[in-house]
Structure 1
């Protein structure tokens, strides 16, 4: 159970943490987040080890395996995963009584333990004993005589629980030995001379105790690098090794260094008799950084053995971190230390101080009370990444919580902003503070555009930033800020987006206008600015915003006189009406026509056709023709009517109307009337052809005939008037007007009526006009030849009284002969009719005495049942049918009307009573007799075997599809 004193000490740790001092950073206030994490970065907890038999002198922790050496000569071992299973082993009986324990060394996995001893007397022999984790018995290591081991370099790739693999041992005289220990091989501990090889001597003969050894493989190659430290020097070695049974021979690394002077070391003067080397490993157990304890400070650097940029150094960014001053501790240099990723924990006799590797400032201090005793060691379990502090009486564990939390502040103070953001871990409040500081720094340096880009990512006041750039007249940087800020806005911020779009448009237009006014419109600067402006207009948010503020932007562009960009903007916004309007405003009619051609929007054609037809009729009509049926010709009429009535415009209008009528058979009367009007005014021959194509049937013509006739009369187009009058049926007027043109036209009109009487009358009118006028006998005779409807007697009244009959002798004789022929023909027809009537009367008389015999054996031709059993029909052809059989056979082949009538007659016979059927009708016959006669007329009108029905069904099969299956079964 934790004592009251321990509880008080743990609670007071928070108050002992020094605050990190830096200049204040203030965000804009839009992000409301807690900027500080109040959780202690380093918090210690005491382990409950109440069964320790004496004070602790040495300690080691690896892979959750704790080893403590105590003053009474016992060794305490504990698997931290099983805290109740600790054990003590006496080690003092395995060494000489006058030996002093100088160090214990535990491999990274906690399987192998080495304990080094030095003699208390001058002639004593240093000793080294080995203990395996699964053993209770120490083994004496028979190393070379008088060799005092001060440091062990373990093989980090070794996974064996019984063998250490190749290891390096450093001595107090600076000798470097290579060996391997195997708990299951006794000869390794007896015949030591075979397994101990001195491979190098640090200092070249000078006694220089080795205080630290680390060796590691470079990636997955056969190359290894080795770090060795003494109290004043840091040595570096690198080279290829010989691999035997997957074990390296480290001796080969030192072969190149045996013949060269010692130059590959870092020397720091120190009066300390001790030092310490620590490596920090990443999550893949690869060495990442190192630290070396010296008297002036901690020498720290980044390991980079693979790059070998500098052949004399295996590390980069080496720096000496001074020890914090001003404390109450007596000694300046720490007794030991532990390296983490971003801090070093310095152990003094009564406290632990934590210093940042980056800022070299004290970030935490933990004092230990006298009740716990003096601090003996501080170690880091590299495998489990835990930190342990050991005093005389207690063991404490440090929990490290987010030690990188303040790195963003440190990197920000160092102006390493990218690294600062990396360690913000996407905390928006921190990132905003860093961005503001970076942007302010760039602004101070005059890098305004870069500053604007970063300012746009912050939540700093929009107005404040804009004023900063306006005060220094940096409109380009202001545009960058506004553009980037626009990218960060959400679509819901419609008001702010609209303001930014309008403002940026004004900035672009002002700059472009300034360049144009100074004659720089052909410079690269102008073209680049214009390109940037076009890119800005294509921005998705700008395009969407333009739907709401386009009228404002249009006015803005118009006020700058920038017609080119105004047209581009209208195209981007698909505001095609304004696109065409701007082209027309610029008098770029061909561009306007091309735009209309590509848009495929008929309503815009109707809107702008009047102006385009007026200014550019040929190209306009060509475009209208290319649109084909997508345009309505009737909707284009206002544009045609508004044009000047000159030859160029009329010709193009006629060309379009003729195309429409020829290819799309337009029936619109307004179109035809307008075309007819143009023909009447400008092209009489075309009018004649048009009227001929329309034909002489008033029902099928597409123009207004009355309007056409009135128009032609106004224009004195006599021939057209003749055709139109004939079309209206005004034959007398047509012939009368045609006679004024020419006699041939009058004759063609007279031949048009279908009525022969009307034709005869029209021909008489022509003859009267011609004969009365000319009294020409030959011409009169030609009339008689052309028209068979006129006789000589019809035209005689048109001649004057002075003309004698001798001139008409031949026509008169011919006329009399024709009349005589007609009389003879009529006599022959009358005699033929009388003979036919006599034959018919004879036939009727013969039928009155005709009879047919029916035998008892006769059967119905349909059902093959005796005929006399039921009422029957007998046809002159000899076929006999029962009345019901014939009715059933006839009913399906009757037309619907006769079938319905037959059904109705049968229904009346079956429904009416005998009294009603016996009623005498107006014909003098009973109703029953009349109904039967009508049924007979329908059913027995013809024999179904000899009449038309048999002829009509000649192409029908004898067996229908419905009866086929039944017939097949009958045949089977």
Structure 2
């Protein structure tokens, strides 16, 4: 049950609430959020320790607590095991006329030093060492002449046996370096590795050292040492000599022995004491320091790695005033204090106060009851970071809960907004308040662009912020704000569209104003234009433009900004709009140039009619430049709309001829259209075209019937002749050609491949020529030009008045030719007669031919004696058994002959002897007839010398399926 005194103690603890932020939450879009944490920042708990006497001194480190009591005993307790404590009588280890002044515990909690001072002039000061695992105190013998007032522990030491190099400060101002070791062999004295005086702060005068700490700069041999006296704070910086991984701190002071004292901070004070405290971050690196003096606490940041000032480690140092005391309190200066990250916890004789290091406000006050006695000291565990306050009768532990909770507000009030955001735990309401305040401050200072960037991160009213910048005519800042808001939007299509349109209007207005002032070449104009182009290329803007492009196009048109309109259409791939607008404004050249630069075939097809109508030559040139990118057939509507004018037709023909000659266009519609233009406007070009197309009907690319009809309508006889001939209408073509020119008809007559047709055509020509003027010479020239017609063919065409004498020479020539033909026929008949006689003689000799077969001859297929079975003997001397030859020939016979052979063999096997002996119409028995037919099939040729062997010349000797068998045989 809590005692009445504890209840009084709890009631006496007062946590000061920080003043709420001056910003109204209406400036933020967040509502119903609690900004203040009601959990006490500092809370005290009385520990259930029972020391045997009044407490005089305390030391805590690494959860190990040591109390010195008035009865000359030490109270030691491992806080992890609070039920097990130990008391050691220390007075029997020291001289009777000494008094305990201080106890010092190393960061590991293993090495304890107790400093004693002489009660009178006859005594000597002492320094006693006690190890955590021992209950026997040992005297540091070399300390007899020094009254130790402070110990600078080695925070890099990890040994529980030795202290490592440490520094001792004395009441005379001496700085000593030593290293103590827990040596169990020595009963009453501590083992000292070395002992040396390395510096004298007082320069011969008694200047007590009230604080001393040294630390190494990470990953270097550089050390810095802080030493305090009642009125001065000294800094020593230098590189230590490292031996066996231990520093020699004496070397740091070498440079200070011969230089004037300049590396100190002096604050006047009438106090006989001062306190030095450090705050370490999570990596145990000193971050801040505080020095308690009579006027206040000298506080500053530490930056050991800074190269700006090698003589000082202070940054952002300031003097923090003590909070005003009650009227009844006589104490104005704390007795002791400890340092946290953001507060200094001050200890007076009857109370504890916590002061903010950032704004010097009092945030906590705890009054102590006289029942517990006066406060003796307040200490902080450097490793566990727990805070302990000790009175004469009790030990209290302070718990610090989220001391950074109001830091963001303090930094915000001090206009350190980056730090404020760092300490607001990502609370969106706090961040919004900070941003609003920062934005308003920047706005008030005239830094509008930066203010706009911060405003865009707040939840402030969109309309309100825009009006703020419009009222001061800060268009650039407004664009910055709108751009940032646009980047933050995701799915609000309406607001995105509004911002895009507004920003476009702002850019266009700025550019238009500069153009009207004649500043289109100024740097400002180019910068705005560049920013505008970057804005248009943003993915979100490009996507939005697909829905609002008509509005934006109208905006640009109203500003007369044709250049940006074209660029925007290129970005949106909406080229149709700008080309149509140029044509509407009769800017045909610009429209054509854009089409050429874009190389969009669909747009060419769409706008070619208008451009071809207005500027045919330039348009034709552009079409020619596009080459195969455009399909001529899709341009036909454009050509048909303007073919009445000679200039237009000329350019159309030029383009079509270019495509046909260079890209071999075979589209029938194009060829028919070009042919139509030729028929209408250029007959010579028509004939050249027909000649190029050739006389092969399947190879021409135009419709011949359509072309013939056009030419007939226009009376183009020569073209009609060529087209009729192409269609195979030779007679009609010849008749038409004779009406035009006899030479044309003669050329036509030589074209057919059929000699009979050529002869008919030439006869038609002859009839036309002869009946027209009865010119014998011309008729004779026809006979010379065409050998297919003779004099007798043309004689009927002459009139009766023409006598035979006029044709004496042609008739004689014709008779001579007939005579020559008769002689050739006679010679051929004689040759045939001789050949027939030769064949008859050969047959007769063959009948009398015989071949001798010996007993030793063998079948060429089975290599068995030939006379054993019926056989076939060929003139080439190859011999085969009939059954062997039958088996060899059967697979190679044609299916029909193979079937017939099978049928003949079946008849021989099935029919009876009587039936086989029946005489057939040929006068031979049926058996002989069947055998003769079988012989004709099987023995028609030698299987080795006949045509079959020649046909099988490319057949492998060994079939694929026999390879394995043959390979095994060869093995």
TM-score range, shorter chain: 0.7 to 0.9
Q: How does 1:543-622 map to 2 (within 5 A)?
A: 543-578=542-577, 580-581=579-580, 596=595, 601-615=600-614, 617=616, 620-621=619-620
Question: What's the counterpart of residue 342 of structure 1?
Answer: 342
Q: Does 1:112 align with 2:111?
A: yes
Deviation at 1:124, TM superposition (A): 5.6
Aligned equivalents of 2:970, 2:125: Cα separation in 1: 129
Q: Does 1:355 align with 2:355?
A: yes
The partner residue of 2:898 within 882, 889, 902 is: 902
Q: In 1, are the aligned partners of 2:47 and 2:395 still within 8 Å (CA)?
A: yes
Aligned equivalents of 1:863, 1:222: Cα separation in 2: 110
Question: What's the counterpart of residue 642 of structure 1?
Answer: 641
Q: In 2, are the aligned partners of 1:241 and 1:252 still within 8 Å (CA)?
A: yes
Q: Structure 1 residues 211 and 908 mapped into 2: Cα distance closer, same or farther (>3 Å)?
A: farther
1:372-398 CA distances to partner (integer Å, 9 max, x unpaired)?
A: 443221101213322212222322233
Question: What's the counterpart of residue 392 of structure 1?
Answer: 392
Aligned equivalents of 2:599, 2:826: Cα separation in 1: 79
Q: In 1, are the aligned partners of 2:14 and 2:364 still within 8 Å (CA)?
A: no
Q: In 2, are the aligned partners of 1:860 and 1:880 still within 8 Å (CA)?
A: yes
Deviation at 1:538, TM superposition (A): 0.8
Deviation at 1:344, TM superposition (A): 0.6
Question: What's the counterpart of residue 17 of structure 2?
Answer: 18
Aligned equivalents of 1:174, 1:815: Cα separation in 2: 157
Q: In 1, are the aligned partners of 2:350 and 2:369 still within 8 Å (CA)?
A: yes
Q: In 1, are the aligned partners of 2:125 and 2:143 still within 8 Å (CA)?
A: no
Q: Does 1:274 align with 2:273?
A: yes
Q: How does 1:775-786 map to 2 (within 5 A)?
A: 775-786=774-785
Q: In 1, are the aligned partners of 2:291 and 2:299 still within 8 Å (CA)?
A: yes
Q: Does 1:151 align with 2:128?
A: no
Question: What's the counterpart of residue 667 of structure 2?
Answer: 668
Aligned equivalents of 1:144, 1:362: Cα separation in 2: 42
Question: What's the counterpart of residue 719 of structure 1?
Answer: 718
Q: In 2, are the aligned partners of 1:181 and 1:188 still within 8 Å (CA)?
A: no
Question: What's the counterpart of residue 803 of structure 1?
Answer: 802
Q: In 2, are the aligned partners of 1:277 and 1:291 still within 8 Å (CA)?
A: yes
Question: What's the counterpart of residue 811 of structure 2?
Answer: 812
1:161-192 CA distances to partner (integer Å, 9 max, x unpaired)?
A: 55555555444455655666555497996999
The alignment partner of 1:151 has SS state of strand
Moved more, 438-447 or 424-433: 424-433
Question: What's the counterpart of residue 405 of structure 1?
Answer: 405
Q: Does 1:432 align with 2:432?
A: yes
Question: What's the counterpart of residue 132 of structure 1?
Answer: 131
Question: What's the counterpart of residue 943 of structure 2?
Answer: 944
The alignment partner of 2:334 has SS state of coil
Aligned equivalents of 1:641, 1:571: Cα separation in 2: 31
Aligned equivalents of 2:929, 2:44: Cα separation in 1: 131
Deviation at 1:778, TM superposition (A): 1.6
Aligned equivalents of 1:784, 1:249: Cα separation in 2: 137
Moved more, 13-22 or 941-950: 13-22
Question: What's the counterpart of residue 83 of structure 1?
Answer: 82
Aligned equivalents of 1:227, 1:875: Cα separation in 2: 133
Moved more, 218-227 or 182-191: 182-191
The alignment partner of 1:277 has SS state of strand
Q: Structure 1 residues 310 and 845 mapped into 2: Cα distance closer, same or farther (>3 Å)?
A: closer
Aligned equivalents of 1:446, 1:589: Cα separation in 2: 50
Q: How does 1:272-421 map to 2 (within 5 A)?
A: 272-304=271-303, 307=306, 314-325=313-324, 330=329, 331-421=331-421
Q: Structure 1 residues 159 and 876 mapped into 2: Cα distance closer, same or farther (>3 Å)?
A: closer
Deviation at 1:575, TM superposition (A): 2.9
1:355-409 CA distances to partner (integer Å, 9 max, x unpaired)?
A: 1100111222334444544322110121332221222232223333433232211
1:523-542 CA distances to partner (integer Å, 9 max, x unpaired)?
A: 22222111111000111211
The alignment partner of 2:319 has SS state of strand
Deviation at 1:346, TM superposition (A): 1.0
The alignment partner of 1:76 has SS state of strand
The alignment partner of 1:104 has SS state of strand
Q: In 2, are the aligned partners of 1:453 and 1:484 still within 8 Å (CA)?
A: yes
Count of residues in correspondence between the two structures: 962
Q: Does 1:741 align with 2:767?
A: no
Q: In 2, are the aligned partners of 1:144 and 1:196 still within 8 Å (CA)?
A: no
Q: In 1, are the aligned partners of 2:127 and 2:143 still within 8 Å (CA)?
A: no
Aligned equivalents of 2:505, 2:176: Cα separation in 1: 80
The alignment partner of 2:59 has SS state of strand
Aligned equivalents of 1:825, 1:47: Cα separation in 2: 152
Question: What's the counterpart of residue 789 of structure 1?
Answer: 788
Question: What's the counterpart of residue 762 of structure 1?
Answer: 761
The alignment partner of 1:723 has SS state of helix
1:796-846 CA distances to partner (integer Å, 9 max, x unpaired)?
A: 333334333322222233334444555566677678778888998999999
Aligned equivalents of 2:197, 2:858: Cα separation in 1: 141
Q: In 1, are the aligned partners of 2:442 and 2:448 still within 8 Å (CA)?
A: yes
Deviation at 1:516, TM superposition (A): 2.7
Aligned equivalents of 1:671, 1:311: Cα separation in 2: 90
The alignment partner of 1:116 has SS state of strand
Deviation at 1:70, TM superposition (A): 0.8
Moved more, 821-830 or 340-349: 821-830
Question: What's the counterpart of residue 693 of structure 2?
Answer: 694
Q: Structure 1 residues 360 and 891 mapped into 2: Cα distance closer, same or farther (>3 Å)?
A: farther
Aligned equivalents of 2:172, 2:788: Cα separation in 1: 157
Q: Structure 1 residues 81 and 933 mapped into 2: Cα distance closer, same or farther (>3 Å)?
A: farther
Q: In 2, are the aligned partners of 1:129 and 1:139 still within 8 Å (CA)?
A: yes
Q: Structure 1 residues 633 and 856 mapped into 2: Cα distance closer, same or farther (>3 Å)?
A: farther
Structure 1 gap segments, 5+ residues each: none
Question: What's the counterpart of residue 451 of structure 2?
Answer: 451
Q: Structure 1 residues 188 and 513 mapped into 2: Cα distance closer, same or farther (>3 Å)?
A: farther
Q: In 2, are the aligned partners of 1:152 and 1:213 still within 8 Å (CA)?
A: yes
What's the RMSD between the two structures over aligned residues? 4.5
Aligned equivalents of 1:116, 1:712: Cα separation in 2: 134
Q: In 1, are the aligned partners of 2:380 and 2:386 still within 8 Å (CA)?
A: yes
The alignment partner of 1:341 has SS state of coil
Q: Structure 1 residues 653 and 31 mapped into 2: Cα distance closer, same or farther (>3 Å)?
A: farther
Deviation at 1:747, TM superposition (A): 1.3
Deviation at 1:656, TM superposition (A): 3.8
Q: Structure 1 residues 854 and 169 mapped into 2: Cα distance closer, same or farther (>3 Å)?
A: closer
Q: Structure 1 residues 623 and 62 mapped into 2: Cα distance closer, same or farther (>3 Å)?
A: same
Aligned equivalents of 1:801, 1:965: Cα separation in 2: 92
Aligned equivalents of 1:553, 1:968: Cα separation in 2: 87
Structure 2 gap segments, 5+ residues each: none
1:582-619 CA distances to partner (integer Å, 9 max, x unpaired)?
A: 56567666665665556565433433333444455556
Deviation at 1:453, TM superposition (A): 0.6
Moved more, 100-109 or 866-875: 866-875
TM-score for the superposition, normalised by structure 1: 0.86
The alignment partner of 1:292 has SS state of strand
Q: In 1, are the aligned partners of 2:908 and 2:927 still within 8 Å (CA)?
A: no
Q: Structure 1 residues 851 and 477 mapped into 2: Cα distance closer, same or farther (>3 Å)?
A: same
TM-score for the superposition, normalised by structure 2: 0.86
The alignment partner of 2:341 has SS state of coil
Q: Structure 1 residues 800 and 39 mapped into 2: Cα distance closer, same or farther (>3 Å)?
A: same
Aligned equivalents of 1:244, 1:852: Cα separation in 2: 127
Q: Structure 1 residues 845 and 686 mapped into 2: Cα distance closer, same or farther (>3 Å)?
A: same
Question: What's the counterpart of residue 515 of structure 1?
Answer: 514
Aligned equivalents of 1:803, 1:255: Cα separation in 2: 152
The alignment partner of 1:691 has SS state of helix
1:166-219 CA distances to partner (integer Å, 9 max, x unpaired)?
A: 555444455655666555497996999x956484253864x5544323344566
Q: In 2, are the aligned partners of 1:54 and 1:72 still within 8 Å (CA)?
A: yes
The alignment partner of 1:759 has SS state of helix
Moved more, 354-363 or 771-780: 771-780
Q: How does 1:882-893 map to 2 (within 5 A)?
A: 885-886=884-885, 888-893=887-892
